[in-house]
Amino acid sequence: MTNIPETQKVILYHEQGDLDNLKYVENYEVPEIIEDNDVLIANKYAGVGFVDSLIRGSEGFPPWYPKKFPIIPGLEASGIVVKVGKGVKNVKPGDKVVYTGFYTFAQFTKTPASIVFKLPDDTSDEKLIIYTSLIVNGITVLGLINESYNVQKGDYVLLYAAGGGCGLIFSKLLSQRGAHVIAVASTDEKLASAKENGAEFLINHKKEDVLKRVLEITDNKGVQVVYDSIGKANVDISFGSLAKNGSWIIFGFASGVPEFNLRALVPKNAKIVGASMFNFDYQRHGSQLQDLVENQGFKIPYEIFPLQDYKKAAAKMESREVVGKLILKIPPS
Ligand SMILES: NC(=O)c1ccc[n+]([C@@H]2O[C@H](COP(=O)([O-])OP(=O)(O)OC[C@H]3O[C@@H](n4cnc5c(N)ncnc54)[C@H](OP(=O)(O)O)[C@@H]3O)[C@@H](O)[C@H]2O)c1
């Protein structure tokens, strides 16, 4: 059984801004369980998302994010339950788990039991890493392709950031479904990985005119759906690529919030749909993800950094070099 110390190693920042605001701290207090439905988890691995950098680097916080400094970043992790509140039924101390939740770049995280998935007792460390690399983006992508727009066999789908954590999962799941995936990314290495994961058409946006290529590929008809995590910089491509009755699904703002004249929607019968993981069917997509990992050997490439090197991992993420996912290995207490 893991001993719960009074202090722990964490990544912290006291104000939003650039990478220099990140600190590695060795004596931060371990949270207490106060609510009956909370659990305390000794983390083994945490997933690094692009959104961690967006939140730290922007002014103000997204509406769904806790606003009290200092902030421990991180939104997903896996590890072992070490303590549970009186009302917790789904997990017990000693269970291996993967979860989404705040403050995961730490040895210990307190989180509501309702967002924790129990894993089999014999889950290997490699499987824990795979689950950590897929939990936020996997649930997000499953929600986006089933709930935001239900992708059909034969649909043309436009994806940006196709070599990233979400992008590779999209390519795998959409190609399995028989959709034509048009993958856009900034390097040929990212596009090669998208292709390995099932993307059919590859566009390097540094070298090619994305809208022109999309219209060529679709015989000027356009795509049934655009999955847009870029926002502002790609408005003309996203809307210009849409077929009649097409859906423009906005789930991220890597380049800022788009400005758009809604009048343009009318002649195309187009839809704009916002999407947040928090509104998707978490249990259903989590179970589906577990099935994909356990029964289909589903995984994406990842690279591991020690917790104390999060600043290096974040720098790599922000320089747009990452293919797949970055994982932090959390030191045991
Ligand atoms: N709504 C939700 O619930 C939800 C949940 C999870 C993730 N997300 C969003 O999904 C997106 C992908 O997340 P991820 O962690 O998997 O990241 P990622 O795709 O691994 O990395 C982000 C990629 O976005 C592109 N990018 C970054 N800055 C950009 C800019 N200023 N202009 C244009 N493109 C830019 C880069 O791809 P290229 O270099 O190839 O262009 C970069 O590699 C993020 O925007 C994240 O916020 C949303």
CATH of the domain at 196: 3.40.50.720
Identify whether residues 146 and 256 lie together within a single domain: yes
**Ligand 1 mutation target, pool 56, 229, 238, most atoms within 8 A of CB:** 229
User: Which residues, 6+ apart, have CB-to-CB distance to 217 below 8 Å?
Assistant: 156, 180, 182, 201
Question: Residue 212 in 3-state DSSP?
Answer: helix
CA distance linking residue 41 with residue 102, whole number of Å:
12
CATH of the domain at 63: 3.90.180.10
Ligand 1 atom with the smallest distance to the CA of 251 is 1
Q: What are the percentages of helix, strand and coil residues in the chain, rounded to 5?
A: 35, 30, 40
Identify whether residues 100 and 12 lie together within a single domain: yes
Identify whether residues 12 and 57 lie together within a single domain: yes
Query: Do the domain assignments include residue 52?
Result: yes
Question: Residues with Cβ within 6 A of ligand 1?
Answer: 49-51, 54, 136-137, 140, 161, 163-167, 185-186, 190, 229-230, 233, 251-252, 254-255, 275-277, 320, 322
Identify whether residues 223 and 253 lie together within a single domain: yes
Q: Which position has the token pair 């291996």?
A: 96
Identify whether residues 216 and 245 lie together within a single domain: yes
Number of domains observed in the structure of the chain: 2
Identify whether residues 65 and 146 lie together within a single domain: no
Question: pLDDT tens track of the chain, all 333 residues?
Answer: 567 999 999 999 999 999 999 999 999 999 999 899 999 999 999 999 999 999 999 888 888 999 899 999 999 999 999 999 999 999 999 999 999 999 999 999 999 999 999 999 999 999 999 999 999 999 999 999 999 999 999 999 999 999 999 999 999 999 999 999 999 999 999 999 999 999 999 999 999 999 999 999 999 999 999 999 999 999 999 999 999 999 999 999 999 999 899 999 999 999 999 999 999 999 999 999 999 999 999 999 999 999 999 999 999 999 999 999 999 999 999
DSSP designation for 218: T
User: Which residues, 6+ apart, have CB-to-CB distance to 289 below 8 Å?
Assistant: 131, 134, 135, 138, 139, 142, 298
**CA-proximal residue: ligand 1, atom 13 (nearest):** 50
Query: Do the domain assignments include residue 312?
Result: yes
Cα 314 to averaged position of ligand 1 atoms, centre (Å):
13
Query: Using an 8 Å Cβ cutoff, are 104 and 77 in contact?
Result: yes
**What is the extent of the structural domain holding 54?**
7-123+301-329
